[in-house]
Structure 1
């Protein structure tokens, strides 16, 4: 090992390789910390935040800075600077926003912004690529997503430089930035948009996120700093490696799938984060070294990503690398990179736009002459000159792409409005929706719609009423006194003419099969049953409806249901008739009947138990996730829908690890259910949800699972793999 290891940035990987071979941890005089270099030891520390505190990631400020920031700038303005319980409480407010399938709606906007930046410098033929493209693009993107003005990103950049190189002249710009962010937060309190600030407000209003305004302010600066700095450095380092190896750049740019593989290899080979510090809170042995409280370690992610115990040919850059071993470029555990899904999306778009706009791209200096900034948490090149051929074809592309201001966030939604509303029972209002242009999508009985209300609150409701070709939707909403605010808004603040957005309907509760059906509805659970009854009758199936409720005046559509025939419809208000004997009713049902149930959890459980007792097929739709005993893990099986192959999952295993052992790669980052990267669709089976990213409605739907932590609540899950 070098006489002064970790002092030469060009030799840091050699120093880390030597450290991995040494017994115990390696002390670094440069960092004044123990360097944790082996993959297993790094992951152990990442998943033990109680022992390895992240507080050293945000250094303490001197007194004059504390005085200047008092009441204006949160002192730990990034999630990674917090330990639990504060960390998880604050992160819960932003986790769900960054799930891959949700963040994908920004792709078109990101692409438009990338083209706009290249339009500005294309004719020059060579630029400092980080200064002109790879740094301003992610900062514009994260500014837009947070809820700030992307056209002021250069101002935000100067303000955020305080964190990397603090100085007295940078205090006021940072304070001004926080003032602007707080003003935006206050504006979103009353007028919501499709951005992160509005998302946090929605969760605060619903009671799902607990924080004050100053804590809310602390969420954004660190996210903006890390969100642009890491992406800015990764893309230029990745491009230098690709362009220096014959044919590799062309292989990587063959398509979106190859770009994604190349990005993952770049994150493994040379991530923009070399590692992060932690402070020991109690006596512990890590990697054979005894550590005491107050000791600090440096978790060298870059070293773990080249550990030969986990990766074949670890020092080779291979954009076609195969295998199921996850890299730790985004870390793991509770502090896994919050913006990893956004970073992956951004980098993929960057690669695609670069391929389209910059022909014959090349690094502006010899590969072996590239230089790096001193060894620290961030890994970055000193100079990033890139050149390309300026052609007539390239000139013709300038200005021909949509401007960012012309692009909305593409989530498949449609704009619509309320065309009618009426009271259909005590505390139940029926609302009819229509599209602003054209018709709302067709739907099938049992489907639910996702509706974005004027304040950007999103709620899901079952579609009801007659199926027609008029392109309108009808929902019925129960006022919930202890709910999260959506039903109150639907009842009190959504008059005819109100503007809404809707997303295409999804159906997790379809009417299937050919035999007779018994529909059991409890309370507002009648909404999907009305169209299901009509559909069953239209198909010539014998169908009966049992509608249970507390009082007749609180039972929506009771008279409409009764009008379909006394012999097939039973309306049972308990205040008039007493408690209904479900077991007795189900004991008389023929074995070829499928029972459908929607309503309160107590009713659903009673129906499930009775159907199991009498051997009946039962399908249910819940308003809230089912509750299962998660005190112990039980073994279960997973079935791959594409092949029918069945794999056992032991009590001490995760679905992710079992899939990996079988050679099936599912991308994952945090391995703790906090990022949403490992989401897999579920065709059949009950899920024991243990993630922190799915909404209550998504959990109740039981059609998607985070395979790094969640499990089967029964015997088998059928996965969309």
Structure 2
């Protein structure tokens, strides 16, 4: 865990505050566009936020937090109780939404989904790759960083006010998209669904706020063998692997508990996991907050 202090809190839109987190000593871990971090808040919650600052600034991170009226305690704490000068623990950056080199880009942002795309737009411009940003929101007052983007990139940024213009026609955008362009999209589920319907899957990279609703077979019990100790943990049908490991004295970092943040990732040495995450677990890895087992047992590098 890295140690930071809240240096600034800036209101960047209605119900959105940007936090500048300064390292208490030395540099913070490096990161690339698309990365996110966990904030360990003083109310005992860990919450994930996309890094939206400049990767070249090594002694500070920047994130933006929108207040959610249905908050589970994270955004409410940040907006109501967090103040400059407060110490915060911060995880190492993780990146499940990396910017892949390409000749050109189309970025699609909805509301607070602009945050991971800000450093992507900056990186594309620095690399000399043509990039266009379509930024969608109810009104400019609700859209963080809209003015900064227009000042920096001019007509390469298109602001779409849904209150006045409705939603953008993504199929029309797809029809004019050059064949060598990649599309990066972050926003609400409706925007992601529209993007998936409009753009070829092999050219679309998307990051979700919430998991996709999917149906799996009935949960069954299985065994998890901890290879380092040789101990076996029984995972009941009504309990997650993450919780079973914690109850056995092997707690793991856990942020979202929905299979979208990646904080609980573990290595599988043997057996077949049933992947239920929205990240796309790499070979030999799994996310025990949601994923289970197809085989009767899993051997874990624990």
On the 8 A contact 1:604/1:620 being kept in 2, the answer is yes
Partner SS, residue 417 of structure 1: strand
1:474 aligned onto 2:39: no
1:175-324 maps to which residues of 2 (within 5 A)? none
* Aligned with 1:674 (options 234, 240, 243): 240
- Against the structure 1 CA distance between its residues 709 and 718, is the aligned structure 2 distance closer, same or farther, given a 3 Å change threshold? closer
Evaluate the alpha carbon distance shift between residue 457 and residue 701 of structure 1 in structure 2; reply closer, same or farther with a 3 A threshold. closer
**Which consecutive unaligned segments of at least 5 residues does structure 1 have?**
1-412, 634-651, 680-692
CA contact (8 A) 1:451 1:502 kept: yes
* Structure number with higher strand proportion: 2
How far apart in 1 are the matches of 2:119 and 2:149?
10
Instruction: Name the one with the larger helix percent.
Output: 1
* 3-state SS of 1:419 partner: strand
Distance 1:670 1:565 in 2: 52
In structure 2, the partner of 1:521 is: 109
Is the contact between residue 134 and residue 158 of structure 2 (CA under 8 Å) also seen in structure 1?
yes
Aligned to 2:6: 418
Task: For residues 134-160 of structure 1, give each alpha carbon's deviation from its aligned partner in whole angstroms, at most 9, with x where no partner exists.
Answer: xxxxxxxxxxxxxxxxxxxxxxxxxxx
Alignment of 1:580 with 2:144, yes or no, is: no
Alignment partner of 1:533: what SS?
helix
CA positional deviation for 1:474: 0.7
What's the CA shift for 1:482? Answer: 0.5
**1:594 pairs with 2:176:** no
Partner of 1:491: 79
| 1:697/1:583 CA distance change after superposition, 3 Å | farther
8 Å CA contact retained: 1:431, 1:475: yes
Measure, in 2, the Cα distance between the counterparts of 1:619 and 1:625.
15
Q: Does 1:562 align with 2:143?
A: no
- Matched-pair contact (CA < 8 Å) for 1:417–1:497: yes
TM-score w.r.t. length of structure 1: 0.34
Matches of 1:577 and 1:509, distance apart in 2: 29
- Distance (whole Å) between structure 2 residues aligned to residue 591 and residue 669 of structure 1: 50
Matched, 1:624 2:210: yes
- Is the contact made by 1:415 and 1:502 (CA closer than 8 Å) also made in structure 2? yes
Aligned length: 267
**Root-mean-square deviation over aligned CA pairs:** 3.3
**Counterpart of 1:541 in 2: which secondary structure?**
coil
Compared CA separation, residues 512 and 678, structure 1 to 2 (3 A): farther
Give 1:427 deviation, angstroms: 0.3
Partners of 1:486 and 1:676 in 2: CA distance: 21
Contact residue 35 and residue 95 of structure 2 kept, 8 A: yes
Paired with 1:549 and 1:414, the residues of 2 have a C-alpha distance of 34
Please report the TM-score for the alignment, with normalisation by the length of structure 2. 0.77
CA spacing shift, 1:702–1:595, aligned 2, 3 Å: farther
Shift of 1:430: 0.8
Give the one of 196, 199, 202 matched to 1:608. 196
Tell me what 1:46 maps to: none
Structure 2 residues without counterparts, runs of 5 or longer: 246-252, 286-302
How far does residue 675 in structure 1 lie from its aligned partner after superposition?
3.1
Structure 2 counterpart of 1:333? none
1:564 alignment partner, SS class: helix
Displacement of 1:702: 6.2
Contact 1:668 1:708 (8 Å CA) reproduced: no
Q: Is the 8 A contact 2:188 2:208 kept in 1?
A: yes
Larger CA Rg, structure 1 vs 2: 1
1:186-235 deviations in Å (ceiling 9; x for gaps): xxxxxxxxxxxxxxxxxxxxxxxxxxxxxxxxxxxxxxxxxxxxxxxxxx
Using the alignment, how far apart are the partners of 2:130 and 2:97 within structure 1? Answer: 19
